Amino acid sequence: MAVDIVIYHNPECGTSRNTLAKIRNAGLEPHVVEYLKTPPSRALLVELIDRAGIRPRDLLREKGTPYAELGLGDTSLSDDALVDAMMAHPVLINRPLVISPLGVKLCRPSEAVLDLLPEPQQGAFTKEDGEKVVNVSGQRIP
């Protein structure tokens, strides 16, 4: 049975690369959307935020973005204003956002993706920084 998994990915981001590698370590090949090149529509972004059970502010990325210049730290800004900012500047969308039959989640840290995978890890996994997160039996390392 085919499993449909989508990852909103930035290949320049280590967390995003580690998340993608964990999906593949489960023997799954996701649909990879490089969201900086192909951002989601406003309606889809709002739907994904809702399905993830988070608020738009939870999906905002500060580091390496125009977050401060746009005054997005202002807590009086509405959810609509924050979504508008993400639509105008997709780099503000934090990543990786993963959609699977088990739900939608912002996978930070990358181990969060393990809760979304319907298939177990097929072997050991070590993150790019050298942290071992899955043992040779495919089990999470606490």
Tokens 């089990």 belong to which residue?
A: 139
Q: Examine the residue annotation and report whether 13 is marked as an active-site residue of this protein.
A: yes
Catalytic residue of the set 13, 98, 104, 106:
13
Q: Which residues are catalytic, by number? A: 13
